[in-house]
Chain A
Amino acid sequence: MSAPVLFSRGRLIDPRHGVDGVRDVLVRDGQVAQVSEAPLTVQGAQVVDARGRWVLPGFIDLHVHLREPGEEGKETILTGSRSAVAGGFTGVVAMPNTKLVNDSALVTELVLSRARAANLCRVYPAGAITKGLKGEELAEMGELISAGCVCITDDGRPVMNAALMRRALQYATLFDIPVMVHEEDLTLSGKGAMTEGPTATRLGLLPIPPSAEVAMVARDLILLEETRGRLHIAHLSCEGSVRLVREAKKRGLRVTAEVTPHHFTIDDTAVGQYDTHAKMNPPLRLRRDVESLREALADGTIDAIATDHAPHGVLDKQVEFEKGINGVVGLETALGLTLALVHEGVLSPSRAVELLSAGPAKAFGLPGGHLAPGAPADVVLVDPEAEWAVDAERFFSKSRNTPFHGRLLKGRVTQTWVGGRLVFEDGQIKESRS
């Protein structure tokens, strides 16, 4: 057994337990052993001087694309795990739309074994709702869950068939797992390339109306009410959806929702002159949508900040805008962009941390997300004053597709611990391949 670790005199922010103050946190055998207001002295402990640092529960990203198996040129479970821990994420949920779709235990086991080999963050596979993501027949949900999947989703695609979606929600109640949905009515989004609005009109890009998302959110909330299942809405992007989720929660439906840093930070004008780095699905929305997402993050309507980390190669982006592949990488910029909301007074530090840790843990019933005794010792140390400029060339991710290259951010991860083991420190990954 390794020596106990004592995080000494840092500002512990643990929203789940209402803690925000200077504490000593003692970690033993991969778990939090003690949290103390008074300074602790522990024989033989490795002391981490956390003065001036925030000590936070490790972040959990409910929505990442690790691209393995199938598109290892864009990312692998190893490089994605490095990117995660560099961004303070100790757990990530890996989407099933890989080039061998995760719709069977075989693929789930492959993902889990690669994650074990990488041995950095916790990787939670998500299984497909439908076989091959084709939207036609349910995948074997029971098999997927017993192999280790934590939710099911056809992310990247909606389940257009309402009857099938209804059955997915019903059937999933057997396992009490969330059904995660990418809300898009394809007949409404059509050939659209960006959100409807003045920028699309100016650029002559066919518009995607907000109803493409909102109508599907409405449909699925109606199905949820009938089925009494669990619904998790991925990458919520517009005002209308926020309103529906807020209202559904008030009525006690089991719905959770996530918002990405890009959707709460930039609006459609970021497309500028056809910048494919600002091309994603759902598309960047209008300023008023951004404002409504920020409100929803603050007031509890939104449960989690998730990155929708979507690595792509240069050639996928260096093309005509309409042809450009959707998506941005997000793991290494998420904290800085979230803290920008704190600096702007939109979120309290505690609420920001909750959205990155306790919120996602609760939404999916995952371990972690808090630092009380007995919790896994997934710990992030953040220097809240560190100012830095995003440099895509220095990402640990294999891909560089970000609209935030060059952006100045304040607040940076200095250490990441997973299960009591230091995996990232001051810009360096601490590999220990198993």
Chain B
Amino acid sequence: MRHLLGIEGWRREELETLLDRAEAHLPGGSARSPVLQGKVVANLFFEDSTRTRTSFEMAAKTLGAEVLNWTAQGSSVSKGETLLDTARNIEATGPAAIVIRHRSSGAPHLVAQHVRCAVINAGDGTHEHPSQALLDAFTLRRHWGKLEGRTVLIIGDILHSRVARSNLLCLKALGARVVMCGPPTLLPVGLEEMGAEVTTKLDAALPEADAVMCLRLQLERQTESFFPSTREFSRLFGLTPARAERMKAGALVMHPGPINRGVELAPAVADGARSVILEQVANGVAVRRAILEVCT
């Protein structure tokens, strides 16, 4: 048993092994299926995410597990039950793993200190989203063979993005170069210490990238004045068709979804030939099966 609380703490070989396993879980792959037969995987979602929850659910079910879905809506949480109470109650049902999504950074770490089963972080606050980073790396690896020597440009709201943090750690660990770009108000200090190169000049950074990852922009950040308007954001940091023209031949476009079409990513680019967005979704299940296998 081991936890997946973040990419932080995982060594390169371990990440590679996990991605190799995911390979076997692709349709037509060699993985034995019902390895979680008779076991329970608990999905503990304190924050909505149909996409991630469904992906983990499918992964668990196709490994033979029973899935216990718990959501915060209408639950005892609204009556003041603490995170640890909830986690301990879920643990009492004897799951092999708890998959947790929570608005607070570090929530899975707290749970992991108090339960005996594997804890898998399905996104915590603005901290990490390791399964997303693994499926992104997996998608890139399938296109490139290896990540060594490649440059990935991550654009947008880095400050509030758990996808950005996990991807930075994962891509760096696998040998890629990571450049982060966004308005200065959305670039936290200390990204360099985590291994990123940081720029606010998108047009200069674009031609160097082998892949461009646009992050979902939470529109309420506008009312907090992290940027003046979504219009201005997309003018300065949106991946428009004109900008996509300046990318390297063969460079890929990614997005963790759901997309604000026309804000961080133009529809024509999202649906264009460079886009691997639907592959990301499809690879999600295989990667999450590998995660459940490795952690339980």
Q: Which residues of A contact B (CB under 8 A)?
A: 193, 196-207, 273-274, 315, 318-323
- Check: B8 CB closer than 8 A to any chain A CB: yes
User: Are A274 and B109 in contact, CB atoms less than 8 angstroms apart?
Assistant: yes
Q: Mark B139-180, 1 if CB is under 8 A from A, else 0.
A: 000000000000000000000001001000000000000000
- Check: B84 CB closer than 8 A to any chain A CB: yes
User: Are A274 and B189 in contact, CB atoms less than 8 angstroms apart?
Assistant: no
- Check: B126 CB closer than 8 A to any chain A CB: yes
Which residues on A sit within 8 Å (CB–CB) of B218? none
Which residues on A sit within 8 Å (CB–CB) of B107? 320
Q: Which of B106, B193, B194 contacts A274 (CB 8 A)?
A: B106
Given contacts A198-B189, A203-B127, A204-B165, 5 further A-B contacts (CB under 8 A): A198-B193, A202-B190, A204-B106, A205-B126, A320-B106
Which residues on B sit within 8 Å (CB–CB) of A206? 126
Which residues on B sit within 8 Å (CB–CB) of A196? 188-189
User: Are A205 and B105 in contact, CB atoms less than 8 angstroms apart?
Assistant: yes
Q: How far is the CB of B1 from chain A (nearest CB, A)?
A: 18
User: Are A204 and B189 in contact, CB atoms less than 8 angstroms apart?
Assistant: no
Chain A to chain B: the 3 pairs with minimum beta-carbon distance, closest first:
A204-B127, A198-B190, A274-B106
Q: Which of A201, A273, A319, A320 contacts B188 (CB 8 A)?
A: A201
User: Are B104 and A323 in contact, CB atoms less than 8 angstroms apart?
Assistant: yes
Select from chain A the residue with minimum beta-carbon distance to B106. A274
- Check: B128 CB closer than 8 A to any chain A CB: yes
User: Are A274 and B162 in contact, CB atoms less than 8 angstroms apart?
Assistant: no
Which residues on A sit within 8 Å (CB–CB) of B188? 196, 200-201, 207
Which residues on A sit within 8 Å (CB–CB) of B128? 204
A315 to B188, CA, bound (A): 31
User: Are B194 and A202 in contact, CB atoms less than 8 angstroms apart?
Assistant: yes
Q: Which of A204, A273, A315, A318 contacts B125 (CB 8 A)?
A: A204
Select from chain B the residue with minimum beta-carbon distance to A198. B190
A199 to B193, CA, bound (A): 9
User: Are B110 and A202 in contact, CB atoms less than 8 angstroms apart?
Assistant: no
**CB neighbors of A among B89-112 (8 A):** 102, 104-107, 109-110
A196 to B124, CA, bound (A): 19
Name, among A199, A202, A205, the residue most crowded by chain B CB atoms within 10 Å (CB to CB).
A202
Supposing A319-B83, A320-B110, A322-B125 touch, asked if A201 and B190 sit within 8 A by C-beta, the answer is yes
Which residues on B sit within 8 Å (CB–CB) of A201? 165, 188-191, 193-194
Which residues on B sit within 8 Å (CB–CB) of A200? 188, 190
A206 to B161, CA, bound (A): 11
Count the B residues whose beta carbon is within 8 Å of the partner chain — how many?
Answer: 24
Q: How far is the CB of A276 from chain B (nearest CB, A)?
A: 9
Select from chain A the residue with minimum beta-carbon distance to B158. A201
Q: How far is the CB of B295 from chain A (nearest CB, A)?
A: 18
Name, among B82, B125, B194, the residue most crowded by chain A CB atoms within 10 Å (CB to CB).
B125
A207 to B186, CA, bound (A): 12
Q: How far is the CB of A43 from chain B (nearest CB, A)?
A: 63
User: Are A318 and B104 in contact, CB atoms less than 8 angstroms apart?
Assistant: no
User: Are B102 and A320 in contact, CB atoms less than 8 angstroms apart?
Assistant: yes
Which residues on A sit within 8 Å (CB–CB) of B125? 204-205, 322
Which residues on A sit within 8 Å (CB–CB) of B8? 202
Select from chain B the residue with minimum beta-carbon distance to A207. B188
Q: How far is the CB of A100 from chain B (nearest CB, A)?
A: 24
User: Are A319 and B190 in contact, CB atoms less than 8 angstroms apart?
Assistant: no
Q: Mark B191-228, 1 if CB is under 8 A from A, else 0.
A: 10110000000000000000000000000000000000
A110 to B162, CA, bound (A): 50
Which residues on A sit within 8 Å (CB–CB) of B105? 193, 203-205, 274, 320-322
A201 to B188, CA, bound (A): 6
User: Are B110 and A319 in contact, CB atoms less than 8 angstroms apart?
Assistant: yes
Select from chain B the residue with minimum beta-carbon distance to A274. B106
A321 to B189, CA, bound (A): 20
Q: How far is the CB of B66 from chain A (nearest CB, A)?
A: 28
Q: How far is the CB of B5 from chain A (nearest CB, A)?
A: 8
User: Are B83 and A204 in contact, CB atoms less than 8 angstroms apart?
Assistant: no
Select from chain B the residue with minimum beta-carbon distance to A196. B189
User: Are B126 and A274 in contact, CB atoms less than 8 angstroms apart?
Assistant: no
Q: Which of A198, A203, A207, A315 contacts B106 (CB 8 A)?
A: A203
Select from chain A the residue with minimum beta-carbon distance to B114. A318
A273 to B126, CA, bound (A): 14
Name, among A204, A319, A322, the residue most crowded by chain B CB atoms within 10 Å (CB to CB).
A204
Q: Which of B82, B84, B126, B193 contacts A204 (CB 8 A)?
A: B126
A193 to B126, CA, bound (A): 12
User: Are A204 and B162 in contact, CB atoms less than 8 angstroms apart?
Assistant: yes
Q: How far is the CB of B47 from chain A (nearest CB, A)?
A: 12
Q: How far is the CB of B157 from chain A (nearest CB, A)?
A: 12
User: Are B104 and A320 in contact, CB atoms less than 8 angstroms apart?
Assistant: yes
A200 to B188, CA, bound (A): 9
A-B contact pairs, 5 of them (CB 8 A): A204-B128, A207-B189, A319-B82, A320-B104, A320-B110
Q: How far is the CB of B6 from chain A (nearest CB, A)?
A: 9
Which residues on B sit within 8 Å (CB–CB) of A319? 82-84, 110
Supposing A200-B188, A204-B162 touch, asked if A321 and B104 sit within 8 A by C-beta, the answer is yes
Name, among A193, A207, A318, A320, the residue most crowded by chain B CB atoms within 10 Å (CB to CB).
A320
